[in-house]
Structure 1
Amino acid sequence: MAEEVAAKGEEAPGQTVSRLLCCLETASSSRAARLEALAGLRAALVEREMPAEVLQELFARQLLRPLTRCLLADPAERCRELALELLRHGLAHGAQPDLALPVLMPALAQRLCEAAPGAGDAREACEELRLGLLRLLGLLLQLCPGAALAPYLPEVVRVLRASLRDSFPEAKREACAAAVQAAKAMPEHFHMQSESLISPLMQAISHQHFRVRVSVIQATGAVIQFGNVKSLDDVLSHLAQRCFDSIPQVREAVISVMGEWLLHLRDRYSYFHKLIPLLLSGLADEMHENRELALSYWKKVGLQWEKENEDDIKDKLDFYSTPPYYPQGLARPGLGCRELVTRDLFRILPGLCHDLTDWVTDTRVKASRLLFILLQHAEDHITQHMELLLRTLYRACLDEEVLVGRECLKAAELIGTFVSPAVSLKLIVSDLKKAPLPSHLMVLSAVIRGSPRKVLQPQLVYLADTLSHPHVSQCTAEVSYLEQLLGCVEAFLEACQEDCKEISLQLTKILVTIMAIPVAGHLHEQLEDTMKSLAEVQGLAGLVGLYRQHIAQLMEWVSSAPDTWTCYSSELLQLDVIATHSGPAIGEALQELFLILKTCLQTSKDPLMRLKLFSTFSQLLQESNKTVNSQGQFCNYLEIVIKDILAPNLQWQGGRTAAAIRTTAVSCLWALIYSELLSPEEILKVEHLLLPMILATLDEDSKMTRSLSCQITSVFLNVNGKQFQPDQLSTIYPELLKRLDDASHDVRLEAAKALVNWFKCIDDDKKALLKTNIEFLYQELLVELDDPNQNIQLAVLDILKEGGLLYPDLLAKEIKAVLHKHRSPAFLNQLLLHIESTGWRYSES
């Protein structure tokens, strides 16, 4: 080759290199001269196509050491950059790159590592050149055999440690890549030095650049896999934190590292319980690609474990079948995957349960998702961990983070699927009986929803009896507790459907109990929907059909010891719900109802309780044919209603509560009359008993009471008619007359109507005996006729028209006496014309 070049008159490559190296190494050479020499070398070696054997010979014999010295000592960055480029080119095309190790490795260590204390700092200052030096190291690790690299492992590790702490992100990434190459290049020796890389790697694992974090995780995977496995404990917590990284690529790197470790790590069996949770967390990753990656690795891990342990699981492989009630929508993991989780669940579960109560929200969310995945793999092996699981779920399902609660309830549903109800429900019910809490009910409802219908059926009565027991259903009025109690009923309906007929009474009691608690008002619509669903699964006609089916048992349930009730008694509230919501069904339980009313509405009982009962009774009477008289049997209890219920409570007693009771009693009496439950004959029977009390209530403070009392009095006068004696009539009209001056116009109008009926009660026999009373009434009514309110004037005019028929001449005389006093004579003249129309003539008076 040299001869051919000489024949052409050109300089031989060796001569060119020697000449340029002479210029490069001359002590007096300037920066420009060094740059020119390096550029010439670049042109000769890189830009021209030099045969490989020539380049290899020149690089090893002439170029390596001068270029290395330039790299170490040249003050010009551009010179060092060209020297680095030439070294990389020479290594890449050299036949024996390992021969360069004795020269390059010390140089790399000098330029990339911090100097020892007291020594001069020869570390490369330029970031880009440090990055280039690291790439040169990577090229050496790639090209040189492990045996040649092994003696230089300490220098490699020193360089990597320093570079991992480099402030330049690209240098960190290149150092990570070099660490991976070093681990793979000399695995027999690398484990002796690998521990020293763990600390700088973990310092860089939370770097702000996500690409750096990805590179660090990948490097950590290789360092542990090919290095000292004991360092695994030092890195797992850091890798676990990266599972929460906001960047999907970082989480993907963790999944890949975990998958590779589970497949290839030495002594991986000892670390399965630590690695499996991190890989399985990837199955719940937000990104579909990450979930698929995690699933792919997990399947490989399971299949590999099956092959490695085929003899131990031969029977399971041959005979183990899918559970008959496997949750819909879930794919069953392979046997190897299930066995891996089952065998290490006792190690994994305590730490996971601790994470479910961690103060960091993301940790709790990730842990709750992982719990579901673990329970899906463990299947019926969950049973031996039930106590720990339930304690954790009780707390976690009430987490302020909705996602945590939702995932925990999904996990509880798996308990219902895989664990025998005889075990799971017994434990939950035991906790519920000790101290009922909303969380107990929440977990119980989830377990019920997850339980297969046929498996749950034998436990229905036991469960329903427990939930309907007062110790559980009536232990608190806390809204959250009531919501969960309702959730249990809904879970029964969802899981058991027609089987709920067996526990229909207990479920109805629970729903009535919740509805009876005042703070549950916002749940009433949901409660009614649940009741309708309960009726529907039994083929009943809505709420009425449900109540009709159980009305006797419900009334017996609430009627225990009514003589001990107070306004705070739960039975009082439950009776109100049953009576007002059962519609026509309550008409089938009148005996029990009136037994309660008769007992509890005695005047010696709690006034507030009586007030509540009267309100309920009044509400029933307003639509009596659709409630208490739906069977036409109410008439059989009228005597009890009048004598034992209404009459005692219409008696005057001091206090606002007593006044309110009288108001409701008056309302009940009016409802009886208005709904025609009291026939005219029955009104005749009760008038002598009730009229004095009703007249007394005309002075009540309640406007409604006074108005209703006027209407009731009017009915009594209308029905009894001529049977009233003069002394009775003389007692009634003064009370009605006073109401004409009432503050309420409505009361005045009702009093006027009653006075019209009063005049109708006077026949010729009573007329003479009541003349003085009638004359007084004329005088008072004429005063009222001048009222500013025209409606009152018209009502009084109707009274005088009716009453004037008794003594028209006397009325005319009174009219003449007040004619000049009225604001307008129109009504007086109208009244005179009416009198004349009856046959009396004013001129005759």
Structure 2
Amino acid sequence: MAALMAAEAAAPPGPTEATETSETAEAAELSRALSRLLPGLETDSKVGRRRALEALQRALEAAWLEAPDGDPAAAAAFQGPWARLLLPRLLYCLADPAEGCRALAAHLLDLGLRRAARPRDALPRLLPALAARLAGPESARGRPPEACEELRLALVQLLSLAVRLGGPALAPHLDDALRVLRRTLLDPFAAVRRESCECAAGLARATPDHFHMQSESLIGPLMQSISHQHWKVRVAVIEATGTVIQFGSGKSVDDVLPHFAQRLFDDVPQVRQAVTCVVGGWLLDLRDRYSFFHKLIPLLLSSLEDDIPEIALAAAGLWEKVGLQWQRENEDDLKDKLDFSTPPPARHPSPETRPVLGCRELVFRNLSKILPAVCHDLTDWVVGTRLKAAQLLLVLLLHAEDHSTQHLDTVLRVLHRACADDDPAVVRSCTRSAELVGVFVSPEVFLKLILSTLKKSPSPSGLLVLASVIRGCPREALQPHLKVIAVELARPHICQGSENRLYGEHLLLCVRTLVSVCREDCRGCSLQLMEVLVTVMALSGATGLSDKVQETMDALAAVQGVDGSQDLYREHVGPLMEWVAASHHDWTVHSVELLQFNVVVTHAGPALGEVLPHLVPILRSCLQPARDPQMRLRLFSSLSRVLLSAKQTVDSQGQFHHYLNTVAKDILVPNLQWHAGKTAAAIRTAAVSCLWALLSSDVLSEKQIWEVQEMLMLDILTTLEEDSQMTRLISCQIINRFLKTSSGVADPDKFIKIYPELLKRLDDVSHEVRLAATSALVSWLACIQNDDGKSYYQSNIQFLYRELLVYLDDPEGAVQDAVLEVLKAGSVLFPELLVRETEAVVHKHRSPAHCQQLLQHLQALPPAQ
């Protein structure tokens, strides 16, 4: 036996024994090397301590260079000296007064953790040391014990390394780790915050069984950092929050969501994308996600309308995964809908990208919880919030489809308010939402609500909602209700609801949308639509909607099968005239019906010739002197425009002459009578203008003009004395026209009264009036042609010669020339008399040139027979 033992002792060691012997030898060698250097760490000189740390670094690096990276034997050999000799001293050096020594100690601790065979053995001493250095006492406030930013970053990175290497072994030390993170998540150095976020996420993943009990303590610091000025910090906080809640307590979701919602407004796309990914991850993987569907879904759906395509695509992908997953999880409940799927509704805006059934069901089942918050945000004072809410409402309605009928009252009420928003983007999103209401909801339902609202309080936003809903509604569904809509729009309280331009635009939009959607179906309500268009044009005034109204009329005419708005008026002018004239006995200048009448009169064109039995009595009634003067002025203005083109308007059928006596005697004569006041003078000017327009239209024969002359000449002569230059000028022109169409002198007593009034106008302050008066005198003289009768006027003509010879020396050369023409025209009556009168005054003129021209003209006349 003794011999055997001796042999065994002399035998070479086996492989296991050799390895253990080698590790022991290496550890012993490393221990001896370290033991020689460690005393330097305790010297009072910071330079000495630093040199010792640098020597330790060189020794360790030299030892590690000899062993391959990741060699288990080397790691095992290092474990003993590391845990027994290095770790406690390096942890002590973390509090060294010298910053350089602390940095080297942190670096060596990092290297040691990476090389040690059992790094988790260091956790009981490492975590308290890091907590003391980074967080200090729990009750202490202010800056952490470590003042250097770079060192704090290195220590947090060391903690992250410990979390990654320690794994579940960190559970007993969770308090220290969380205490550190609560402080470093609020560190002034942005890099420390980012590293802390990664560390918090790693800690949550490493200790899921214990972390959830304390996860809520990190939510406060994370939310304080979520609005940090550095966008990378914000992204890190959002991602860390996602992991912390995923492995922590679902109770924190409510605390986090308001901050996440605010980050959806972040100017940096990466931040918004981080929120989208985290929320999508929660909807897929959060343990109690069903409890938070109504809170998380709006955040993810909001990203579907993001300005950055990448974010919108990411949100769409996540949302589809959520819907498909929920669909699988609730397959039994959805069996009938899956087996008998319905096609997309008609006029669906994007049937090829219709959301999957799971997504639609999720929205429908949570809509009652989501909608109140959306409606509240649509009234927020911040434009960005309102815009996000409007975009979200659009997405919700697109998913809810016909299920939105259950919430239609709420939806329409909020759209009615939001469509009055000052921001165009909000209004655009809301009008798109209203279009979806038209796509998915029956007209019987939405018209009952919308029209009742318009009856109570007509508004531009209410009309915009109606127009948008009509635009989305299918033609065949809208057709049975078309007449009802047109009749309601034509009611006075709606079509006359406001003179505001926006109101008129939206009312016009309703008509234009009806025409574009229903097309030929509009023939049955064309009259009501015309009433609306006439009212919009009447009330638009200076707002400049006339062109748009005309375009809409042309569109209505096209679907009506007629050529343009003129034919449209021809078809409806009779009912339109009756419609506006129903209350003409009570009209004032402020009456909407007066404005509507003016529109019909000035735009109906040839159709007016067909309704003279209605038109003339209305004018006769409204243009009496007892009626509102301002109203009469407005009517005369419209009448003048019509009479200027009488052949294309009132006389289009050649019947106006039947009403000439009424127009002259019952309309013009009363308004040419003199009354005091500027308004009365303006009315006389308007009446004179109407008469001139009638005479200039070439619709009256000479006989008819003579009849008008007989009725109006004396009144026109009185208007020659008006203060208004325009009135005097037009009166001269009218008298000239009367005289030119007279074949001779019918009544000498009346005729003889004309020239003195014209002669007075040669003293007029207006150059134009003086010239017009000379032209009228030429016409007056031309009327005296009968040799037997001219002797009756000799004394008057002699007086006229004398007066005209005075103006032949007028300072104005143009007046001299005009008077010379008058004298030449009248010279054929009594040439010898004119020669004597001229010779009698020629020497009195400043310049005898015109007198000499006249005498030469008289000498050239043929001798009287």
TM-score (norm 1): 0.95
Question: For 1:503, what is the secondary structure of its paired residue?
Answer: helix
- 2:49 corresponds to 1:31: yes
Question: For 2:414, what is the secondary structure of its paired residue?
Answer: helix
Partner Cα distance (1:713, 1:9) in 2:
135
What is the match of residue 747 of structure 2? 725
Question: For 1:477, what is the secondary structure of its paired residue?
Answer: coil
Residue identity in the other structure for 1:661? I
Alignment equivalent of 1:17, drawn from 20, 27, 34: 34
Q: Deviations over 1:94-136 (max 9, x none)?
A: 3332222222122222222122558999833322222222222
Residue identity in the other structure for 1:780? E
- 669-678 or 23-32: which moved more? 23-32
Alignment of 1:219-368 (within 5 A): 219-329=240-350, 331-368=353-390
Instruction: Check conservation: 2:54, 2:104, Cα contact below 8 A.
Output: no
What is the match of residue 6 of structure 2? none
What is the match of residue 205 of structure 1? 226
Question: Residue 782 of structure 1: CA displacement?
Answer: 0.7
What is the match of residue 642 of structure 2? 620
- 631-640 or 264-273: which moved more? 631-640
Structure 1: give runs of 5+ residues left out of the alignment. none
Alignment of 1:27-426 (within 5 A): 30-49=48-67, 51-60=71-80, 61-116=83-138, 123-146=145-168, 148-329=169-350, 331-426=353-448
Q: 1:45 to 1:198 in 2, by over 3 A?
A: farther
Residue identity in the other structure for 2:79? F
Partner Cα distance (1:73, 1:692) in 2:
120
Instruction: Check conservation: 1:586, 1:628, Cα contact below 8 A.
Output: yes
Equivalences, count: 839
Fraction of identical pairs, as percent: 54
What is the match of residue 7 of structure 2? none
Partner Cα distance (1:470, 1:160) in 2:
70
Question: For 2:763, what is the secondary structure of its paired residue?
Answer: coil
Alignment equivalent of 1:546, drawn from 550, 559, 568: 568
Partner Cα distance (2:54, 2:470) in 1:
85
Q: 1:106 to 1:839 in 2, by over 3 A?
A: closer
Instruction: Check conservation: 1:217, 1:257, Cα contact below 8 A.
Output: yes
Question: Residue 57 of structure 1: CA displacement?
Answer: 3.4
Q: 1:518 to 1:414 in 2, by over 3 A?
A: closer
Question: Residue 156 of structure 1: CA displacement?
Answer: 1.4
Instruction: Check conservation: 2:26, 2:77, Cα contact below 8 A.
Output: no
What is the match of residue 780 of structure 1? 803
Q: 1:122 to 1:579 in 2, by over 3 A?
A: closer
Instruction: Check conservation: 1:114, 1:121, Cα contact below 8 A.
Output: no
Question: For 2:227, what is the secondary structure of its paired residue?
Answer: coil
- 298-307 or 408-417: which moved more? 408-417
What is the match of residue 523 of structure 1? 545
Instruction: Check conservation: 1:445, 1:487, Cα contact below 8 A.
Output: yes
Residue identity in the other structure for 2:420? L
Q: Deviations over 1:432-480 (max 9, x none)?
A: 1101111111111111111111111111111111111111111221222
**Alpha-carbon RMSD:** 2.5
- 529-538 or 249-258: which moved more? 529-538
Alignment equivalent of 1:745, drawn from 757, 763, 767: 767
Alignment equivalent of 2:828, drawn from 798, 805, 818: 805
Q: 1:786 to 1:604 in 2, by over 3 A?
A: same
Residue identity in the other structure for 1:658? A
- 302-311 or 747-756: which moved more? 747-756
What is the match of residue 764 of structure 1? 787
Instruction: Check conservation: 1:52, 1:93, Cα contact below 8 A.
Output: no
Alignment equivalent of 1:580, drawn from 602, 622, 628: 602
Alignment equivalent of 1:794, drawn from 814, 817, 824: 817
- 716-725 or 646-655: which moved more? 716-725
TM-score (norm 2): 0.93
What is the match of residue 690 of structure 1? 712
Alignment equivalent of 1:673, drawn from 695, 707, 713: 695
What is the match of residue 837 of structure 2? 814
- 107-116 or 276-285: which moved more? 107-116
Question: For 1:770, what is the secondary structure of its paired residue?
Answer: helix
Partner Cα distance (1:585, 1:37) in 2:
111
Question: Residue 22 of structure 1: CA displacement?
Answer: 4.7
Question: Residue 272 of structure 1: CA displacement?
Answer: 0.5
Question: For 1:723, what is the secondary structure of its paired residue?
Answer: coil
Instruction: Check conservation: 2:53, 2:105, Cα contact below 8 A.
Output: no
Instruction: Check conservation: 1:67, 1:84, Cα contact below 8 A.
Output: no
Partner Cα distance (1:610, 1:768) in 2:
46
Residue identity in the other structure for 2:803? E
Partner Cα distance (1:705, 1:558) in 2:
31
Q: Deviations over 1:25-51 (max 9, x none)?
A: 578993254234423433344444265
- 778-787 or 802-811: which moved more? 802-811
- 808-817 or 174-183: which moved more? 808-817
Q: 1:773 to 1:381 in 2, by over 3 A?
A: same
Residue identity in the other structure for 2:207? M
Q: Deviations over 1:215-266 (max 9, x none)?
A: 1111111111111111111111111111111111111111111011101112
Partner Cα distance (1:74, 1:818) in 2:
132
Give every structure 1 segment of 4 or more consecutive aligned residues whose post-TM-superposition deviation is greater than 6 Å: 1-6, 8-11, 26-29, 118-122
Question: For 2:413, what is the secondary structure of its paired residue?
Answer: helix
What is the match of residue 488 of structure 1? 510
Alignment equivalent of 2:861, drawn from 830, 838, 841: 838
Structure 2: give runs of 5+ residues left out of the alignment. 1-17
What is the match of residue 590 of structure 1? 612
Partner Cα distance (1:121, 1:16) in 2:
39
What is the match of residue 3 of structure 2? none
Question: Residue 370 of structure 1: CA displacement?
Answer: 1.1
Q: 1:794 to 1:75 in 2, by over 3 A?
A: closer
Partner Cα distance (1:446, 1:95) in 2:
72
Question: Residue 574 of structure 1: CA displacement?
Answer: 1.2
Instruction: Check conservation: 1:555, 1:575, Cα contact below 8 A.
Output: yes
Partner Cα distance (2:589, 2:140) in 1:
91
Question: For 1:604, what is the secondary structure of its paired residue?
Answer: coil
Question: For 2:155, what is the secondary structure of its paired residue?
Answer: helix
Question: For 1:476, what is the secondary structure of its paired residue?
Answer: coil
Q: Deviations over 1:58-102 (max 9, x none)?
A: 324534533443443433333333333333233223333222222
Question: Residue 598 of structure 1: CA displacement?
Answer: 1.7
Residue identity in the other structure for 1:38? L
Instruction: Check conservation: 1:514, 1:520, Cα contact below 8 A.
Output: no
Question: For 1:820, what is the secondary structure of its paired residue?
Answer: helix
Instruction: Check conservation: 2:91, 2:105, Cα contact below 8 A.
Output: no
Partner Cα distance (1:90, 1:810) in 2:
141
- 324-333 or 406-415: which moved more? 324-333
Q: 1:647 to 1:259 in 2, by over 3 A?
A: same
Q: 1:95 to 1:694 in 2, by over 3 A?
A: same
- 2:491 corresponds to 1:473: no
Instruction: Check conservation: 1:20, 1:41, Cα contact below 8 A.
Output: no
Instruction: Check conservation: 1:396, 1:405, Cα contact below 8 A.
Output: yes
Q: 1:591 to 1:818 in 2, by over 3 A?
A: same
Instruction: Check conservation: 1:115, 1:122, Cα contact below 8 A.
Output: no
Q: Deviations over 1:302-321 (max 9, x none)?
A: 00100110011111111131
- 17-26 or 100-109: which moved more? 17-26
Instruction: Check conservation: 1:726, 1:766, Cα contact below 8 A.
Output: no
